[in-house]
Amino acid sequence: MNKSKDELLQELLASISQHKMPPDVAHIEIHGNEVLNAHLVPGLEVNSKSFEDGVNINIRVIKDTKIKNPVRFCFGLIPENGIQKLNINTVIEENASATFIASCTFPNAKNIQHLMDATITIEKGASFSYFERHIHGPEGGVTIAPVTKVFVKENSRYSTEFELIKGAAGIIELDYEAECEKDAVVDMKTRIFGRLKDKIHIKEAAHLKGENSVGVLTSHIALKDEANAIVENEIIADGAFARGHVDCKEIVQDNARARAIPIVQVNDHRAHVTHEAAIGSVDSKQLETLLSRGLTENEATELIIQGLLK
Amino acid sequence: MNILELKNVTLIKEGRSLLNDITMDIWDGYVHAIVGPNGAGKSTLAHTIMGLGGYRDFSGDILFKGKSIKNLSIDERARLGLTLVFQEPARFEGLTVSKFVLAGVKEKSKSLVDKALEMVGFDPSKYRERSVDKTLSGGERKRIELASVYAMHPELVLMDEPDSGIDIDAIKYIFDIIQEFKKEGISVILVTHSPEVLKQSDHAFLICGGQLVDKGEVGKVFEYFSGKCSPCKHVGKPELEKSNLRGQQ
């Protein structure tokens, strides 16, 4: 690769339409196995070490620190082929709070693997939100395989959102698992528009171990062309008064196929877990309402899917 | 002048006659009501006029502005100026009130959203960015659906049970918008069995068992409806009089 660090950085940022950020916004840009740029704010520590096809990253938000602005991460690869492995260990210390927004971009992908192995620990009274947006080219060609284990300690909160709406993915293998202690809250959302021959497999699990812990798993998927999705959502409630909800909605068009496997298990009679799943074509009532406003079937379907994936 | 004409409309589904030889004229710029007991075929008639799925395979004809719409799809009918406010409004997860209100509008503007929401008695700043989902009550969604029809500015609005799910304080806004439609020259068909809603109309049709039983001035139809239909003594089988119809338009 002959491009300079600056050229790569500019190209990476341009692919996610990211403009200059003010000095009080922390941001880290990683291309392949190279940290191109890192700008931190007080209370946020990030250490990284590159290896052959990836980066080991340790992130720490120091005790009692409230990071005001979301921390921006930009991951990606500009070339058509390659591997990016990210091993990330994140600790949000006691009573700290932070929001991370990660943009993952592979605009020219033909055969790219974006692999992540993450551990997140949210200490007592802390709060952490992680939003991951993928922006891909029109042809797919990316394998996305993040494995994330989250420890949500007493009275702490964790929310995560995975979004892939623009472009085709290729293969998505999400594997998220969270353990919640007393009074902890976990909220996982996935919003994906699968196209072409995309293969999507989502495994999200919340283990509500502590009393009064809460877990919500939401998967909203739209599929068209030959795309295929399997969604496995699992909530196990051990804690007294733990509450959980699984919500899986999938709209299927063309020759796409979808399968939802919700698993809910309650091991304490005072806990309560619910689930709802709806898979199929666009809801006829919604469709007829919009058709009777004069939208064509394609326009109406697009609007309904936009809403589902919002 | 008639904006809509039904000519001998008969709809049979699974061997059951749901609409039986219905002929009616809807005058341009007037508010009409279709009344009848539960199961009379009122909503079926509205769905057939709009061309909803399962209500397309009928005999007879429906003319809108003088042209047959029998073979047109729902959206083609809507683009001619015909629309329907559903009895049970749909929920749209993630779709904002603003987007929904403007869905059928070509020249979209925030001011139109605000005006439409004000027409149904909502403070736009509190509703614009909300989702049309389960966080809104059925009554709220119904008023928002009505706002979307107002923004669309159609030529004929079918309103299926416009007062269902609406609390007493909010009914005023439904009646106001019906009168606003009339003021703007938009024709309205109210499908109802409520005397209060019926009072909003200029002219009424009474149907029972899928047949047109009576039509004419509202007071006269209501008198017949309350005298013979409530309580119903013949359960879905109208006692048609010799002339088939008592009144004439």
Nearest CA in chain B to A283: B90
Model pLDDT, residue B249: 45
- What does the pLDDT read at residue A8? 72
Q: Note the pLDDT of residue B149.
A: 96
| Per-residue DSSP letter, A18 | -
> Are A306 and B84 an interchain contact pair (Cβ–Cβ within 8 Å)?
no
- Say if residues A190 and A174 touch (Cβ distance below 8 Å): yes
* Distance from C-alpha of B219 to C-alpha of B226, rounded to nearest angstrom: 10
Nearest CA in chain B to A284: B53
Compute the average pLDDT of residues A247-266.
94
Tokens standing for B78? Answer: 């809507």
Mean pLDDT of B49-55: 95
Candidates B74, B82, B87: best to mutate against A (most CBs of A within 10 A) is B74
Of B84, B103, B131, the CB nearest to A303: B103
What number is the average pLDDT over the span A239-255? Answer: 95
Q: What is d(CA A44, CA A58) in angstroms, rounded to the nearest whole number?
A: 11
pLDDT per position as a tens digit, B112-127? 999 999 999 999 999 9
Contacts of B101 in chain A (CB under 8 A): none
List chain B residues with CB under 8 Å of A294.
75, 78-79, 83, 104, 152
> How does pLDDT run across B87-115, given as a tens digit for each residue?
999 999 899 999 999 999 989 999 999 99
Average pLDDT over residues A48-55: 94
* Residue A255 sits at the chain B interface (C-beta within 8 Å): no
Higher pLDDT, A179 or A133: A179
Backbone angles phi, psi at B97, to 5 degrees: -55, -45
Give the confidence band of B223 by pLDDT, cuts at 50, 70, 90: confident
Q: Do B95 and A304 touch (CB under 8 A)?
A: yes
Tell me the percentage of chain B whose pLDDT exceeds 70.
93
Average pLDDT, chain A: 93
**Higher model confidence: residue A166 or residue A68?**
A68
CA-closest candidate to residue B36, choices B51, B24, B27, B28: B24
Interchain contact A298–B (C-beta under 8 A): no
**Would you call B93 and A308 a contact, using CB atoms and an 8 Å cutoff?**
yes
Alpha carbon of B100: minimum distance to chain A alpha carbons (Å)? 9
From the list B245, B212, B239, B209, the residue with the least C-alpha distance to B227 is B239
Say which residues have a Cβ less than 8 Å from residue A124's Cβ, sequence separation at least 6.
A94, A95, A153, A154, A155, A156
Tell me the percentage of chain A whose pLDDT exceeds 70.
97
As beta bridge partners, residue A202 has A174, A231
pLDDT value of residue A2: 63
Q: What is the pLDDT of residue A17?
A: 63
- The Cα A19–Cα A10 span in angstroms is 10
For residue B107, count CB atoms less than 10 angstroms from its CB and return exposed for 0-12, middle for 13-18, buried for 19 or more.
Answer: exposed
Task: Determine the Cα–Cα distance for residues B46 and B153; give it in Å rounded to an integer.
Answer: 19
A276 close to B (CB below 8 A): no
Q: How many CB atoms lie within 10 A of CB B30?
A: 14
Chain A residue numbers touching B92 (CB-CB < 8 A): 286, 304, 307
DSSP letters for chain B: -EEEEEEEEEEEETTEEEEEEEEEEEETT-EEEEE-STTSSHHHHHHHHHT-TTS--EEEEEEETTEE-TT--HHHHHHHTEEEE-SS---EEEEEHHHHHTTT-SS--HHHHHHHHHHTT--HHHHTTSEESTTS-HHHHHHHHHHHHHHH--SEEEEESTTTT--HHHHHHHHHHHHHHHHTT-EEEEEE--HHHHTT-SEEEEEETTEEEEEESHHHHHHHIIIIITTTSSTT-----TTS-S---
The CA distance from A309 to the nearest CA of chain B, in Å, is: 7
| pLDDT value at residue B243 | 45
Q: Where are the beta strands (DSSP E) in A195-227?
A: 199-208, 214-223
- Which amino acid belongs to residue A89? N
Contact B90 A309 (CB under 8 A): no
CA A287 from chain centre, in angstroms, equals: 29
Compute the C-alpha angle B115/B156/B55, nearest 5°.
120
**What is the model's pLDDT at position B236?**
62
Asked if residues A145 and A173 have their Cβ atoms less than 8 Å apart, the reply is yes
Tokens 């938000």 correspond to: A61
A232: enclosing H helix or E strand: strand A228-237
Residues B90, A283: C-beta atoms closer than 8 Å? yes
Confidence (pLDDT) at B242:
45
Quick check: A97 and A64 in contact, CB under 8 A? no
Beta bridge partners, A91, equal A60, A121
Bond into B231 cis (ω within 30): yes
Whether the CB-CB separation of A276 and A247 falls below 8 Å is answered with: yes
Contact A55, A35 (CB under 8 A): yes
Task: Say yes or no for a CB contact (<8 Å) between B145 and A294.
Answer: no
Whether the CB of A249 is below 8 Å from some CB of chain B: the reply is yes
Cα A161 to Cα A67, A122, A228: the distances in Å are 19, 16, 20
> Which residues of chain A neighbour B93 with C-beta distances below 8 Å?
220, 249, 307-308, 310
Query: Which one of B88, B95, B131 has the shortest CB-CB distance to A303?
Result: B95
pLDDT band at A259 (very low <50, low <70, confident <90, very high): very high
Task: Identify which has the larger pLDDT, B200 or B242.
Answer: B200
Read off the pLDDT of residues B154-205 as tens digits, 9 standing for 90 and up. Answer: 999 999 999 988 888 888 999 999 999 999 999 999 999 888 899 999 999 9
Residues of A in contact with B94 (CB under 8 A): 220, 306-310
Helix axes A297-308, A284-291, angle to 10 degrees: 130
Contact list, B78 vs chain A (CB under 8 Å): 291-295
Closest CB to B90 among A286, A297, A308 = A286
Subunit contact A249:B92, Cβ cutoff 8 A: no
Alpha helices in chain A (DSSP H): 5-15, 284-291, 297-308
On whether any CB of chain B is under 8 Å from the CB of A307, the answer is yes
Q: How many CB atoms lie within 10 A of CB B234?
A: 12
Question: Is it the case that residue A271 has pLDDT exceeding 80?
Answer: yes
Q: Which residue of B has its CA nearest to A298?
A: B75
Contact: A310, B94; criterion CB under 8 Å: yes
DSSP state of A32: T
pLDDT at residue B37 tops 90 = no
| Of the listed ranges A101-115, A183-197, A247-261, the one predicted with least confidence | A101-115
* Per-residue model confidence (pLDDT) at position B247: 47
| pLDDT, average across residues A246-271 | 95
Q: Which of A11-25, A97-111, B227-241 ranks highest by mean pLDDT?
A: A97-111
Confidence band (pLDDT; 50, 70, 90) for A141? confident
In a 10 Å sphere around its CB, with 0-12 CB exposed, 13-18 middle and 19+ buried, how is residue A292 labelled? Answer: buried
Q: What is the mean pLDDT of chain B?
A: 91
**pLDDT > 50? residue A28:** yes
Query: Residue B87's pLDDT is what?
Result: 92
